[in-house]
Structure 1
Amino acid sequence: MKPDGRIKFVSKDRNLFFLTLRRRVDAYFKENQISRNANAKMVVKSVALLACYILPFMLLLSFTPGLPLSLFLWFMMGLGVAGIGMSVMHDANHGAYSSNQAVNSWMGHTLNLVGGSAFNWKLQHNILHHTYTNVVDMDEDIQDRLVLRFSPHTSIRFYHQLQWVYAFLFYGLLTLYWVLAKDFVQYFLFIRKGVNPNSKEKNQVMLLKLILMKLVYFSVILVVPTLVYGIPFLEVLAGFLLMHFVAGIVLTVIFQLAHTVEGTSHPRPDSNGNIENDWAIHQLHTTVNFSRNNKWLSWYVGGLNYQIEHHLFPKVCHVHYPAISEIVRETAAEFNIPYMENKTFGDALRSHIATLHRFGRLPGLNEAIG
């Protein structure tokens, strides 16, 4: 992770592809007199997904149902957490939800509502992932995690041979790790690596806010149901863990289906820190769409199955991705640039498992991975 400018994208065509594409996308919004931001459908979706998280919790507290129904409500909350992460806070923290930055800020902080930190997420996702997609040691989102290997350029261990089997169990731990430790780990890491540009005083205030936010979150989600509403703590804890396991699996799988699949590249900079490619073309080499024609999936995952369009136009609300995807695809074909996609969710999932299997093979058991 070296966000000091030493890694640069060097374009030989002076960004002609992206200049052409951006002009065509701009023309689409202008000619159709459409805002790039959220529309009424996006607002309805936001309300629905927030309700999927909040209403089951209110029902738990109001009726204190038995364990089976209680776990079902926690399960629904897990789907709500994932939905908020993919469809609400994601657009807002990119500045795509509204032209009003105050609205983006409020909607972006729905991440804090489910236990995360909007500030840390912006540094990890907007700066590191979107700028250096699939570049090892730069893209935080593809860093190896415990027993998982997501890059062909990192150290391989014997247990990686089975990661295609056990990966999904660890995916379920993502949001639990996030609310417990990840935000604090990133707080210190981003300061040490220079990703966080704030002054020492501002970061001290941010750390205090982070601690207070976590205390409020855990008090509301774990303490209040037990001490105020008399729900057995073990029952609350079981539901809490189920909620995060569901949210973790959904969020991780949806993200991995865009970048850790067959066909994507993992370029490394040369000795001068240069990657010989235009940044926009790099995005198409490292990103794959999936299930573009599945309207229900597109609704729930916030257009993250249109990951190419999202990486090229992160400040455009995802409700517009289906329309502009045709512009992107046709322009890419015109410039002879690959526009990769898996037609169905099943195709994408199989491709991800195949990639995990490929990255997990020990040297000598497979062909060289480039």
Structure 2
Amino acid sequence: MQEANLTKPVFKKSGNDDFFKELHQEVQEIVLINKNIQLRIIYKSIFFIVLYFIFYICILLFGNRLQLLYLFYILTGITMILVFFNTFHDAVHGAVFKARKNNEKLTCILELFGSNSFIWKKRHLLLHHPYPNMQFWDIDVKQSDIVRIFPDSKWFQFHRYQHIYMWFLYFFYTLNWLLIRDFKDFFGIKDNYVKRVVNIPKAEYVKLFAAKLFYLLMMIVVPAMALEQPVINIISPFLVMHFVASAFGVTALLSTHADEDADFPMPPEDGIIDTTWAAYQISKTKDFSTESPVANFLFGGFNHHVAHHLFPAVAHTYYPYITPIIRRHAQKHNLSYRSYPLHEAIRSHFVLLKKNGSTENLFATGDL
């Protein structure tokens, strides 16, 4: 299928007996009525943002001891991911504050991490959320030669080892985002999904470079000037910080869409999808460790991913209360709701890579 011939997919209209109407009404009446749960995400956001700055300041205060320099760089990186999961992601969906402008302001925290909030929002809201796992639309599973996801994608001999080497490449996730992915979204010509759905304002190009320059100054230049450490002792913990942050972040991202049972449908040529939007969402997403208080606190609702795709504008602090309702309605309507412990979800992704590394049955992802 050529990108130029793509027709924007349209979902089947829901009928009077559609399960989501019944589900939505129950969630509204039983769960969303509790406004105290909404306050939790505000407190949680403040906590993680303050914690990020505390760990960064500790780099400058205690970084002359090499062990502490590594420690606080790593803690800063982990907290960066926690802010992304628990604050930025919800703000993108307008789920932290009632006022839209306050959520918009909060999304600018991504610029503090060297990325561009405008392009991430467009990727996420216009390409991933409407069509998860759909080829030529979901940018998060865009095909790459490095690792094979789609059954009809080109196979290379090195794919036989993707279940091994991808676990090393995942450590470079945040560095790839910082140094490569954003630039591909802004300047890439071939198969540029983002530019197909949005025109990028000129001001965002300026913000792109300004954010990356500010981030590198903040994370490398300022510590190098403030500490009595050689530059190599600044760059090394900076890289380790990104390796650890990537491993932590990818753990959640891999566990929601890319398991051994996942499918990656082609968009219909006429653009008409023979299922409702809600049924499609529940069939292409999965949960992990929903009963774990630790996972609920750390992953910001990514572990309640079905609830997030069905109620994207709802704060993730509501999801532990919504998920049991989804599970019950899915069973009632014979829909495929899936949930695994985190370790099982990671194992399933490994199985997927290994199984699809053969010539017979393959799957590969580009930009996770």
- Normalised TM-score (structure 2): 0.90
Q: Deviations over 1:265-318 (max 9, x none)?
A: 222223313322111111111111111111111110101110000001010000
Q: Displacement of 1:153 after TM fit?
A: 3.6
Q: 1:16 to 1:347 in 2, by over 3 A?
A: same
1:355 maps to what in 2? 352
% same residue: 28
1:24 maps to what in 2? 26
Instruction: Between 3-12 and 310-319, report the one with greater CA deviation.
Output: 3-12
Question: Is the 1:267–1:275 Cα contact (8 Å) retained in structure 2?
Answer: no
Q: Provide the rounded CA distance (Å) in 2 between the counterparts of 1:191 and 1:356.
A: 24
Q: Provide the rounded CA distance (Å) in 2 between the counterparts of 1:15 and 1:234.
A: 63
Q: Provide the rounded CA distance (Å) in 1 between the counterparts of 2:298 and 2:4.
A: 34
Q: Provide the rounded CA distance (Å) in 1 between the counterparts of 2:106 and 2:347.
A: 34
Question: Is the 2:301–2:317 Cα contact (8 Å) retained in structure 1?
Answer: yes
Give structure 2 stretches of 5+ with no counterpart: none
Question: Is the 2:148–2:362 Cα contact (8 Å) retained in structure 1?
Answer: no
- Normalised TM-score (structure 1): 0.90
Structure 2 matches for 1:42-61, cutoff 5 A? Answer: 42-61=41-60
Structure 2 matches for 1:28-177, cutoff 5 A? Answer: 28-29=30-31, 33-35=33-35, 38-39=38-39, 41-145=40-144, 147-177=146-176
Q: 1:15 to 1:81 in 2, by over 3 A?
A: farther
Amino acid at match of 1:27: E
Q: Provide the rounded CA distance (Å) in 2 between the counterparts of 1:143 and 1:294.
A: 31
Q: Provide the rounded CA distance (Å) in 2 between the counterparts of 1:185 and 1:38.
A: 36
Task: From 197, 218, 233, give the equivalent of 1:195.
Answer: 197
Q: Displacement of 1:255 after TM fit?
A: 1.0
1:8 maps to what in 2? 10
Question: Is the 2:356–2:363 Cα contact (8 Å) retained in structure 1?
Answer: no
1:336 maps to what in 2? 334
Question: Is the 2:64–2:229 Cα contact (8 Å) retained in structure 1?
Answer: no
Amino acid at match of 1:28: I
Q: Displacement of 1:85 after TM fit?
A: 1.2
Amino acid at match of 2:71: F
Question: Is the 1:84–1:111 Cα contact (8 Å) retained in structure 2?
Answer: no
Amino acid at match of 1:38: Q
Instruction: Between 142-151 and 352-361, report the one with greater CA deviation.
Output: 142-151
Question: Is the 1:290–1:305 Cα contact (8 Å) retained in structure 2?
Answer: yes
Question: Is the 2:112–2:215 Cα contact (8 Å) retained in structure 1?
Answer: yes
Q: Deviations over 1:249-269 (max 9, x none)?
A: 222221111100133322222
Amino acid at match of 1:351: S
Q: 1:3 to 1:123 in 2, by over 3 A?
A: farther
Instruction: Between 317-326 and 96-105, report the one with greater CA deviation.
Output: 96-105
Give structure 1 stretches of 5+ with no counterpart: none
Q: Provide the rounded CA distance (Å) in 1 between the counterparts of 2:42 and 2:233.
A: 34
Q: Provide the rounded CA distance (Å) in 1 between the counterparts of 2:295 and 2:5.
A: 34
Q: Provide the rounded CA distance (Å) in 1 between the counterparts of 2:298 and 2:17.
A: 33
Q: How many residues align?
A: 359
Q: 1:341 to 1:196 in 2, by over 3 A?
A: same
Q: 1:238 to 1:2 in 2, by over 3 A?
A: farther
Q: Displacement of 1:367 after TM fit?
A: 9.6
Question: Is the 2:136–2:193 Cα contact (8 Å) retained in structure 1?
Answer: no
2:212 maps to what in 1? 214
Q: Deviations over 1:175-233 (max 9, x none)?
A: 111112322211234687332245xxxx1111112211221111111111113434321
Amino acid at match of 1:121: W
**The residue matched to 1:232 in structure 2 has which SS?**
coil
**The residue matched to 2:336 in structure 1 has which SS?**
coil
Question: Is the 2:62–2:68 Cα contact (8 Å) retained in structure 1?
Answer: no
1:275 maps to what in 2? 273
Q: 1:257 to 1:171 in 2, by over 3 A?
A: same
Q: Displacement of 1:114 after TM fit?
A: 1.4
Q: Displacement of 1:37 after TM fit?
A: 7.3
Task: From 315, 325, 328, give the equivalent of 1:327.
Answer: 325
